[in-house]
């Protein structure tokens, strides 16, 4: 019971209601004591008025009047004269005097608590104002024991009624909370369990219908999370299927390229100057294609190898990239330029850096060609004490809004119509593998630039 929200709510309700009743009980006891003493004063005054009406009353009648009033004697103060109206033997000395003419609230509560804890039966004096202006003052002497017994009886009655009220109130609150709060919450929990059984099924996404504002907000937030999760799982399934297909294609393509590589070995022995000049580039391109297929197969097995760090001249890689893209551009009015220091040496994976630059330059070329206008692509490189900096800048139309919104996310729209955006994703992953960053410098009608930052220190720690 204590492990459930409704059970804890029930217990807490009982505790708080009982505490509230206890706080009410103490002032109630003080009020009961005050009324008790004032009633004794009133009865004593009535008895004394009977004596004033007839001075010649018998001792038996006087004793009966005092017994009915519940006091030992009565003292009236009339016309500045203090007069013992009724009297009987007092069994013990007077131990306390209480003035009921203008008592304070805290004084009444204090005196009531003292009566409850005092187990003896002391004789007390009580002073008060006569009713109906029947004199200036009335004073009685009485036992405190009967008062204490009646206060205890009154207190137990109040506690019993409080307990009954607490139980009824707690039960009603328990039923209300369970009906209007816990049951809707349990319905949401059941729906979450139902959705978890098949999160790919969009029909299981919750439909918010709660009337409580807070619970409806929770349902709407849950619907948003479930919608995003369902879409992500579907995207994951598509990527898994695509990855399997790519792995199959890469496997067969690697075999084809391996055969082509054997043919290029024969071409290299040709004495034709044009063949001698183009053959090495063809060999390098086919070799890179074979390595790319092998890496794709490795990625499909989640065994992507870390960068193979070697020292190489960046200008040679840049020259290969530009020659390849210039050949792909054909006769289109597109110029390529490079601003790379001749002696700039990087320590990185040359094949991966080639792929990074090739993806960036290819995207730029395709974007410019799609406009039908002339353009320029420039690769710039520099070196600082801590980093190598490479930038790829073009004079194309800039990235479309969707591409900027989902930059470096696959299958969310590329820089050109029909593009998948994989080129930037691959480039960013390869740069991250070197401990560096690939970021968008600027984009707009004047062109686009991407910045590659490769830290020296982080790379050097991999020796």
Distance from first CA to last CA of the chain, Å, rounded? 62
Indicate whether 159 belongs to any domain: yes
Q: For residue 317, count other CB atoms closer than 10 A to its CB.
A: 23
Over residues 113-157, the pLDDT tens digits come to 888 888 888 888 888 887 665 556 888 888 888 888 988 888 888
Phi-psi region of 413 (alpha: psi -120 to 50; beta: other; left: phi over 0): left
Write out the two tokens for 277.
């000049």
258 pLDDT more than 70: no
**Predicted confidence band of residue 48 (pLDDT cuts 50, 70, 90):** confident
> What is the pLDDT at residue 378?
96
Question: Which segment of 82-86, 100-104, 372-376 scores lowest on mean pLDDT?
Answer: 82-86
Does 417 reside within a domain? Answer: yes
Indicate the Cα dihedral angle 227, 233, 237, 238, nearest 10°.
40
CA distance 305 to 315: 25
Structurally, how many domains does the chain consist of? 3
Task: Confirm if 94 and 124 have CB atoms less than 8 A apart.
Answer: yes
Q: Looking at the structure, tell me whether residues 112 and 149 fall in a common domain.
A: yes
Q: Per residue in 437-451, pLDDT tens?
A: 999 999 988 899 999
In degrees, rounded to 5, the angle at the alpha carbon of residue 333 between the alpha carbons of residues 331 and 337 is 105
Q: Is residue 177 part of a domain?
A: no
For residue 214, tell me if it sits in a domain: no
Distance CA 254, CA 113 (A): 97
Q: Which residue in 9, 2, 6, 7 sits closest to 178, CA to CA? A: 6
Residues 317, 420 share a domain: yes
Do 349 and 428 lie in one domain? The reply is yes
3-state secondary structure of 336: strand
Q: Sort 274 into a burial class: Cβ within 10 Å, 0-12 / 13-18 / 19+.
A: exposed
Residue 390: how many other CB atoms lie within 10 Å = 28
The domain that holds 266 is classified in CATH as 1.10.287
Look at residue 178 and tell me if it is in a domain: no
Q: Residue 147 in contact with residue 115, Cβ under 8 Å?
A: yes
Helix (H) or strand (E) holding 196: helix 183-197
- Cα-based distances in Å from 176 to 183, 418, 446: 10, 58, 66
Strand duo 94-99 + 123-128: pairing? parallel
Query: Does pLDDT of 419 surpass 50?
Result: no
In a domain, 414, yes or no: yes
- Whether the per-residue pLDDT at 226 is higher than 70: the answer is yes
Same-domain pairing of 40 and 162: yes
Report the distance separating Cα 262 and Cα 252, nearest Å.
16
**Angle between helix 422-433 and helix 350-371 axes, rounded to 10 deg:** 150
Instruction: Identify whether residues 423 and 372 lie together within a single domain.
Output: yes
127 shares a domain with 97: yes
CATH code of residue 382: 3.30.565.10
Domain holding 272, by residue range, is 221-305
Residue 97 to residues 94, 116, 441, Cα–Cα distance (Å): 8, 17, 93
DSSP label of 211: S
Backbone CA torsion sign across 96, 99, 100, 102:
negative
Supply the Cα-derived Rg of the chain in whole angstroms.
Answer: 50
Q: How far is residue 205 from each of residues 211, 238, 273, 341, 446, measured CA to CA in Å? A: 18, 20, 67, 58, 45
Residue 459 has pLDDT above 50, yes or no: no
- In whole angstroms, what is the distance from residue 113 CA to residue 30 CA? 8
**Of the candidates 305, 335, 368, which is a domain's last residue?**
305
d(CA 195, CA 113): 61
Of residues 259, 323, 332, 334, the one with CA closest to residue 290: 259
**Domain C-terminal end among 282, 305, 328:** 305
- 11 falls within a domain: yes
pLDDT above 80: residue 336:
yes
Verify that 286 and 354 share a domain, yes or no.
no
51 and 133 in a single domain? The answer is: yes
For residues 290-296, average pLDDT: 63
CA distances from 411 to 117, 248, 422 (A): 82, 20, 7
CA distance 460 to 338: 27
Residue 200 belongs to some domain of the structure: no
Q: Name which of 163, 124, 157, 164 is nearest 41 in CA terms.
A: 124
On the 0-12 / 13-18 / 19+ scale of CB atoms within 10 A, 452 is: buried
Q: State which of 274, 305, 336 marks the end of a domain.
A: 305
Interatomic CA distance for residues 320 and 314, integer angstroms = 10
**Statement to judge: residues 317 and 301 lie in one domain:** no
Q: What does the alpha-carbon distance between residue 186 and residue 265 come to, in Å, rounded to a whole number?
A: 72
> Beta-carbon neighbour count of residue 415 at 10 Å?
25
Tell me how many degrees the CA angle 389-395-401 measures, rounded to the nearest 5.
Answer: 90
Q: Is the pLDDT of residue 418 over 50?
A: no
Angle between helices 314-329 and 350-371 (to 10 degrees): 30
Same domain, 334 and 429: yes
Neighbour-count burial for 161-179, b at 16+ CB within 10 Å, e otherwise? ebeeebeeebeebbeebbe
Confidence category of residue 303, pLDDT binned at 50, 70, 90: very low
Confidence of residue 302 (pLDDT cuts 50, 70, 90): very low
* 328 plus 416 within the same structural domain: yes
Average pLDDT, the chain: 78
Q: Are residues 355 and 295 in the same domain?
A: no
Q: Enumerate helices (H) and strands (E) in the chain, giving the number of each.
A: 12, 12
The 8-class DSSP code of residue 447 comes to E
């Amino acid at each position: 019971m204590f492990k459930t929200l409704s059970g804890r709510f029930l217990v807490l309700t009982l505790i708080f209601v009982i505490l509230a009743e206890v706080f009410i009980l103490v002032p109630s006891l003080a009020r009961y004591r005050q009324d008790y003493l004032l009633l004794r004063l009133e009865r004593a005054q009535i008895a004394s008025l009977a004596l004033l009406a007839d001075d010649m009353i018998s001792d038996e009648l006087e004793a009966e009047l005092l017994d009915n009033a519940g006091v030992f004697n009565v003292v009236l103060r009339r016309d500045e004269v203090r007069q013992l109206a009724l009297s009987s033997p007092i069994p013990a000395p007077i131990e306390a005097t209480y003035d009921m003419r203008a008592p304070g609230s805290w004084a009444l509560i204090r005196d009531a608590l003292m009566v409850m804890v005092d187990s003896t039966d002391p004789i007390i004096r009580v002073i008060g104002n006569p009713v109906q202006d029947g004199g200036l003052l009335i004073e009685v002497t009485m036992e405190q024991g009967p008062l204490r017994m009646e206060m205890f009886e009154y207190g137990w009655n109040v506690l019993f009624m409080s307990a009954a009220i607490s139980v009824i109130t707690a039960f009603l609150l328990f039923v209300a909370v369970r009906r209007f709060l816990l049951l809707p919450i349990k319905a949401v929990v059941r729906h979450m369990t139902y959705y978890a059984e098949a999160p790919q099924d969009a029909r299981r996404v919750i439909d918010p219908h709660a009337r409580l504002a807070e619970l409806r907000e929770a349902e709407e937030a849950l619907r948003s999370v479930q919608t995003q999760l369902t879409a992500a799982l579907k995207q994951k399934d598509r990527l898994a299927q695509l990855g399997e297909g790519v792995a199959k294609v890469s496997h067969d393509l690697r075999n084809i390229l391996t055969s082509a590589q054997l043919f290029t070995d024969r071409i290299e022995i040709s004495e034709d100057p044009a063949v001698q000049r183009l053959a090495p580039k063809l060999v390098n391109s086919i070799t890179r294609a074979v390595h790319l297929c092998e890496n794709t197969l490795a990625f499909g097995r989640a065994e992507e190898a870390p960068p193979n760090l070697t020292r190489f001249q960046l200008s040679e890689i840049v020259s290969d990239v530009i020659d390849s893209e210039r050949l792909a551009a054909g006769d289109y009015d597109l110029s390529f330029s490079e601003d790379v220091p001749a002696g700039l040496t990087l320590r990185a994976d040359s094949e991966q850096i080639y792929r990074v630059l090739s993806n960036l330059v290819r995207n730029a070329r395709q974007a410019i060609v799609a406009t039908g206008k002339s353009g320029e692509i420039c690769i710039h490189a520099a070196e600082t004490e801590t980093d190598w900096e490479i930038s790829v800048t073009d004079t194309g139309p800039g990235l479309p809004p969707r591409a900027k919104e989902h930059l470096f996310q696959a299958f969310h729209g590329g820089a050109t119509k029909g593009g998948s955006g994989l080129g930037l994703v691959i480039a960013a992953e390869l740069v991250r593998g070197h401990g560096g960053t690939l970021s968008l410098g600027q984009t707009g009608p004047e062109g686009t630039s991407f910045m590659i930052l490769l830290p020296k220190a982080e790379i050097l720690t991999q020796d």
